[in-house]
Amino acid sequence: MSRPLKNESKLSKEVLLKSALNIIDEEGEKALSFRALAKKHNVTPMAVSHHVGTRHKMISDLVSLIYQGVGDAPEKCKPIDSLRFILTRYCTRVLEHPNLAQCVLADQSLFSGQLVVLTNLIHSNITECGVDDDEVDIILNLIVDYTHGFAISATTGSSHNGDEVTLTINDYLHSLNWVLARLNPEGGGMTNNGIEKTREKSHTNSRPATKKGLAISS
């Protein structure tokens, strides 16, 4: 058995994931390869594979890494404030790593780990806002769809009259706060300027909403 190269002895999964994230951030997902990482660290592609597994596993680990801690809202935080905290941090990470966010939106198999935890936290906090059971998934889907739409616009670039527009977290919060302000903390679902909208509790053609996740594009 041959000895590992000197640089290989200093290699670790943590170091390689950091380099992989830098490559995706700066050059895009297509530029990420074992060969590129090997060249960056002066090691063999096999050494890279030994630490990170498959390329898909490496990208999945990067997704878990960047969204780690996003759902750690302050203790004793009201559900509606917790929602704002979680969604703001999530969207901030998307803006910080737009190329990786595009990977998630394009590949549903990356929807796991931290993103599952975040989706469940959002669902739980909507429920704790006093929203009727039959509306929880509807509101979750509304927030998820808006978040995805904003993420796609922010990561692919948008234009107005031919001029490129850079979206910021404040643009996201402008509409998110509008939605959250209409959650009725006393129960009864969505409100409009504090007045509960009239809803039909039973409808012959009604179907339960399907719960979506933060990484599933519609």
Domain regions of the chain by residue span: 7-53, 67-196
Between 151 and 71, the more confident residue is 71
pLDDT of residue 184: 56
pLDDT tens digits, 76-95: 889 999 999 999 999 999 88
pLDDT at position 214? 66
Q: What's the CA dihedral at 181, 68, 35, 104 to 10 degrees? A: -30
- Kindly state the average pLDDT of the residues 125-132: 91
pLDDT at 166: 81
CA-to-CA distance for 20 and 17, rounded, in angstroms?
A: 5
Evaluate if residue 133 carries a pLDDT over 80. Answer: yes
pLDDT in the model for residue 112: 72
Least confident of 11-15, 61-65, 103-107, 120-124: 103-107
Q: At what angle do helices 34-41 and 13-27 cross, to 10 degrees?
A: 110
Architecture of the domain defined by 67-196: Orthogonal Bundle (1.10)
Higher pLDDT, 52 or 206: 52
Taking residues 29-33, report their average pLDDT.
Answer: 96
What average pLDDT does the chain have? 81
Three-class DSSP category at 192: strand
Q: What angle do CA 6, 8, 9 make, to 5 degrees?
A: 70
Cβ within 8 Å of residue 89, ≥6 positions away: 69, 70, 71
Indicate if the pLDDT at residue 193 is higher than 50.
Answer: no
List 182's β-bridge partners, or say none.
none
- pLDDT score of 161 more than 70: no
Q: Where are the alpha helices (DSSP H) in the chain?
A: 13-27, 34-41, 45-52, 55-66, 79-96, 98-106, 114-128, 133-156, 169-181
Radius of gyration for the alpha carbons in the chain, expressed in angstroms and rounded = 21
In order of 58, 145, 154, the CA distances from 171 in angstroms are 32, 15, 10
Which of these CATH numbers, 3.30.1130.10, 1.10.10.60, 3.90.870.10, 2.40.30.160, describes 7-53? Answer: 1.10.10.60
Torsion sign across C-alpha atoms 48, 51, 57, 63:
negative
Residue 188: per-residue pLDDT: 43
Q: Which residue type occupies 27?
A: E
